[in-house]
A and B are shown apart, each in its own frame.
Chain A
Amino acid sequence: MNRGQFIAILVGLVGVIGVVVALNSGSNEPAQASTASEGAVAQTNDSSDVGDNPDSLADPNADSTADEKAPVEPTANAPENLGPAMDLVDLDGWLQTDATALSDFDGQVKILQFWTFSCHNCTATIPYLQDIYATYEPQGLEIIGVHAPEFDFERDPAAVQEAAERLGVTWPIALDTDKLNFRAWQDRRFWPRTFVIDANGDVRFNHIGEGKYDELEATVAYLIENGGS
């Protein structure tokens, strides 16, 4: 490939990006509802009749906006039941709790998130989870952060504890050091992965990645208001 051909390819790439930009500016395609089909945990999640803009939830780290944030309304309809949640098995321990098993939280509404502390997208969700935890923990919500390390240096429980303190993670952490649960719960594996489990142990929300914070909170709000299920 000579220099001319190489430059032609570069120009072509710039052209493609230009078309992408032009198409994007000409459409306001709404974000898609979560319809993940995953493992034994979930089939679909059509509970998308609530707001879907991750930016619409004020940054809870910003004092003024956090104080002024309007409470998220519960979903009008019951969030779809995506089937029973799997158990957490062969864990390497727990941090920040006396619990020793997921069953210790039976009867509670739970947010269960697979995360790891060096994952930027995981840590970006923490302020939103802190906000939800502050609002709903007194009403019975529990958050369980299942720490599934991506890299070897994240495997040390002391490093996880240090990161939790640094990042402001105050909820229980389950150590899934060998990622057995991370793999079992997901056919396709991503960080972060967030589930809401109702008081009966059924999955009511399943989301890949950041975002959908309003939908997450609305699901929690619905379940809390309706006795957990």
Chain B
Amino acid sequence: MIDLLVEGFETALFPCSLVLLAPGVAAAVTARQESAAALTGYVTTVIVVGWLRFSGQIGDIGIPIVAMAFALAAALLVVPLIRRINLVSAAGGGVAGVAAAALWEPCVGAEFGGLLSDLTGRGVVGVFLMGVYLVGIMAPLAIVGAVLHLIPNPFLLPARPFMMVAGSAFFAVLAVATATGVINSVISKLVELSITV
């Protein structure tokens, strides 16, 4: 089991995890001091939707639904600009997680491959193990969330309203890019850039 977690940690460093990590970071940045709520929602739905997809419980989630989910996340994550409600941030993160998990096509190591081969047969244990692996991949998000939560000093980070609007705009762009099919080029450029850097 620990091997699965470690493999998840390692996979976080590779390009094929970007589609899971980038929206998570954006959700945390947008939610700022509600980042824990947003990330809890995000990680939870990534695990659940990931398990549903890879255990064969559901098929592919259509591009229109993914685009709408990103748009809904954009709307939900900007609501706390008016009134801070943890539940709204959690819902925004959760909806973003559904979209990210729908787009995720994983590169698979030996441990995760072993799990995927019998994901359905393991039942609830399979969900747990999927969670262990994904917690490993998304561990960098916990660091981002902790930094955002523990350093509320506006002199270290741009003002909260600006961050929320920028984060929300990121999800709106993701929604449009997904709907138009441009998202593949955007992700490709990001990956190419990350490899170059």
CA A21 – CA B191 in complex, angstroms?
A: 33
CA A74 – CA B162 in complex, angstroms?
A: 64
Nearest first, the 5 A-B pairs at minimum CB distance are A209-B113, A211-B110, A209-B108, A152-B188, A151-B188
A89 interfacial contact with B, CB 8 Å: no
CB-nearest residue of chain A relative to B145? A6
CA A120 – CA B106 in complex, angstroms?
A: 11
Chain A, 44-65, contact with B by CB distance < 8 Å: what is the 0/1 string? 0000000000100000000000
- Which residues of A have CB within 8 Å of B1? 20, 23-24, 29
A170 interfacial contact with B, CB 8 Å: no
Chain B, 126-153, contact with A by CB distance < 8 Å: what is the 0/1 string? 0000001001000000100010011000
Residues of A within 8 A of B (CB-CB), count: 44
Q: Which of A3, A35, A36, A209 contacts B109 (CB 8 A)?
A: A209
Q: Which of B53, B105, B132 contacts A150 (CB 8 A)?
A: B105
Q: In the complex, what's the smallest C-beta–C-beta distance from A107 to chain B, in angstroms?
A: 30
A-B contact count (CB 8 A): 121
List B residues 172-192 near A (Cβ within 8 Å): 184-185, 187-189, 191-192
- Which residues of B have CB within 8 Å of A119? 14, 16, 107
CB-nearest residue of chain A relative to B149? A6
B-contacting 9-mer, from A132-140, A187-195, A196-204: A187-195
CB-nearest residue of chain B relative to A209? B113
Q: Which of A25, A153, A188 contacts B116 (CB 8 A)?
A: A188
CA A121 – CA B191 in complex, angstroms?
A: 16
Interface residues on chain B, size class:
35 or more
CB-nearest residue of chain B relative to A206? B117
CA A148 – CA B53 in complex, angstroms?
A: 20
A32 interfacial contact with B, CB 8 Å: yes
B61 interfacial contact with A, CB 8 Å: no
Can you report 25 residue pairs joining A to B where beta carbons are below 8 Å apart?
A3-B149, A6-B146, A9-B36, A17-B135, A24-B2, A32-B114, A32-B118, A33-B117, A54-B110, A119-B16, A121-B109, A150-B107, A151-B15, A151-B188, A151-B192, A190-B113, A207-B113, A208-B117, A209-B110, A209-B112, A210-B109, A210-B110, A211-B109, A211-B110, A211-B114
- Which residues of A have CB within 8 Å of B28? none
- Which residues of B have CB within 8 Å of A3? 149-150
